[in-house]
Structure 1
Amino acid sequence: MSTIRFDGRVAIVTGAGGGLGRHYALELARRGAKVVVNDLGGSRDGTGHSDAALAVVEEIRAAGGEAMSNGGNVAEYAQMAEMVAKAKEAWGGVHILINNAGVLRDKTFAKMDPADFEFVVRVHLLGSAFATKACWETFREQNYGRVLMTASSSGLFGNFGQANYGAAKLGIAGLTKTLSLEGAKNDIRVNTIAPTAGTRMTEDLFPQAAFEAFSPDKVAPGALYLVSEDAPTNTILGAGAGAFQASYVTLTPGTLLTGDDLSPEGVAAHWDAITDRTDEIVPKTGAEQAMTIGKLLQGG
Structure 2
Amino acid sequence: MQLETYISDLLYRYECVTVPNFGAFLSQRVPATVHESTNAFYPPKKQLSFNEQIQTNDGLLANYIADAEKIPFEAATLKISKRVKSLKSSLIEGETLSLQNIGDLKLNSEGKIEFNPSYHLNYLTDAFGLSQLVSPAVTREVYKEEAETIEKVIPLTITPEKRKTKSYFKYAAIALIALTIGGFGASKHYADSVATHNQIAQEEANNQLENKIQEATFVISNPLPAATLNVSKQSGNYHIVAGAFRVEENCDKKVAQLKQEGFKARKIGVNKYGLHQVAYASFNDRNEALRELNSIRNNNNDAAWLLVKDLN
Q: Same fold (TM over 0.5)?
A: no
More strand by share: 2
Q: What TM-score comes out, normalization by structure 2 length?
A: 0.23
More helix by share: 1
Q: What TM-score comes out, normalization by structure 1 length?
A: 0.24
> Which structure has the larger Rg over C-alpha atoms?
2
